[in-house]
Amino acid sequence: MMAPNASSKTAIRHGSCLCGKVRYQVTGEPLTFFVCHCGNCKKATGSAFMTNTFFLEKNVRVFEGKDQLSCFRDTNTASGVALRRYFCSKCGSNVLLSSEQKDNNLTIVTFGTIDDKVAWFPRKERFPEHMLPFVKGINLNPKGLARPKL
């Protein structure tokens, strides 16, 4: 017999870059979900912040266009830990990140590239001291909506 949350833990969701050349799937729910205000994430997105969902490496699979992914090794990070930022070489979409921290088995999936509708909400903001003045904060627990268990 399946546990009540078993179906959500094994859900498979799909994502892609802007041009659709890179396609991936994630299995299960993210371990956590951050909004990052660091300067590098802002530059990588060309926006006010980056939204990052964290999955175990084994739960992320690029099934199309892996050869289209280019990698930028970001060594000047606010955390001091180097990141590998993977983006589509055709359209430039940021798709995945991974930390070079020893024994890290996580893959970071950029939230905006997930194609399926999900009810995930950020758990926290990273580097809020770098938040741009027009950003008033992220709604970490929208009124009336149950916060997903991450």
What CATH number is given to the structural domain containing 104? 2.170.150.70
pLDDT at 144: 43
Strand partners, 24: 15, 62
Torsion of CA 127, 130, 135, 137, to 10 degrees: 30
Q: Is residue 63 part of a domain?
A: yes
pLDDT at 146: 46
Q: Is residue 116 part of a domain?
A: yes
Domain that holds residue 54: 14-130
**In angstroms, rounded to a whole number, what is the distance separating the alpha carbons of residues 37 and 34?**
10
Please enumerate in sequence order all residues whose Cβ is within 8 A of that of 136, keeping only pairs 6 or more positions apart, or say none.
none
Cβ 126 vs Cβ 81: under 8 Å: no
Domains in the chain: how many in total? 1
Give residue 92's region: left, alpha or beta (phi > 0; psi -120 to 50).
Answer: left
Cβ 50 vs Cβ 74: under 8 Å: no
User: Measuring CA to CA, which residue among 2, 1, 61 is closest to residue 27?
Assistant: 61
Evaluate if pTM is beyond 0.75.
Answer: yes
pLDDT at 131: 92
> What is the residue-level pLDDT of the chain in tens, covering all 150 positions?
334 444 445 899 999 999 999 999 999 999 999 999 999 999 999 999 999 999 999 999 999 999 999 999 999 888 888 999 999 999 999 999 999 887 789 999 999 999 999 988 898 899 999 999 999 877 776 554 444 444
Cβ 124 vs Cβ 140: under 8 Å: yes
pLDDT at 78: 87
pLDDT at 142: 57
Q: Is residue 104 part of a domain?
A: yes
